[in-house]
Amino acid sequence: MIAFLSLALHVLISPFKTRARLEAEIVMLRHQLNVLRRRVPSKPKLSVADRLLFVWLYRLFPSVLNAVTIFQPETLIRWHRAGFCLYWRWKSRSRGGRPKVPIEIRRLIRDMSLANRLWGAPWIHGELLKLGIDIAQSTVAKYMARDERGRSQTWKTFLHNHSTGIAAMDFLVVPTIGFKLLFVLVILRHQRRRLILLTVTTNPTAEWIARQITEAFPWDEAPKYLIRDRDASYGHAVTRRLAAMGIRDHPTAPRSPWQNGHAERLIGSIRRECLDHIVVFGEAHLRRILAAYAGYYNEVRTHLSLSKDSPGHRSVQRYGQVVTGPILGGLHHQYCRM
* Residue 149 pLDDT: 56
Q: Rounded mean pLDDT of 223-250?
A: 93
Number of domains making up the chain: 3
Backbone dihedral angles phi then psi of residue 194, each to the nearest 5 degrees: -75, 130
| Mean pLDDT, rounded, for 151-168 | 78
pLDDT, mean over the chain: 83
Q: Is the pLDDT of residue 15 over 80?
A: no
Identify the bridge partners of residue 145 per DSSP, sorted by sequence position: none
Whole-number pLDDT of residue 36: 62
Q: Are residues 127 and 165 both part of a single domain? A: no
Percentage above 70 pLDDT, the chain = 78
Domain of 132? Answer: 103-152
Q: How far is CA 53 from CA 8, 47, 58, 78, 92, in A?
A: 11, 10, 9, 14, 24
For the cut 80, the answer to whether the pLDDT of residue 167 exceeds it is yes
| Band of residue 80 on the pLDDT scale cut at 50, 70, 90 | confident
Task: Give the confidence band of 79 by pLDDT, cuts at 50, 70, 90.
Answer: confident
Residue 126 lies in a domain: yes
71 and 173 together in one domain: no
Greater pLDDT, 300 or 148: 300
10 Å Cβ neighbour count for 182? 19
On whether both 77 and 215 belong to a single domain, the answer is no
Amino acid 206: pLDDT: 95
Pair (192, 295) in one structural domain: yes
CA distances from 128 to 105, 122, 123 (A): 9, 10, 9
| pLDDT for the residue numbered 90 | 83
User: What pLDDT, on a 0 to 100 scale, did the predictor assign at position 299?
Assistant: 92
Percentage with pLDDT > 90 across the chain: 42
Q: What are phi and psi of 46, to 5 degrees?
A: -105, 140
Are 177 and 287 part of one and the same domain?
yes
User: How far is Cα 10 from Cα 29, in angstroms, rounded to an integer?
Assistant: 13
pTM metric for this prediction: 0.60
Residue 315 lies in a domain: no
As a whole number, mean pLDDT of residues 253-260 equals: 92
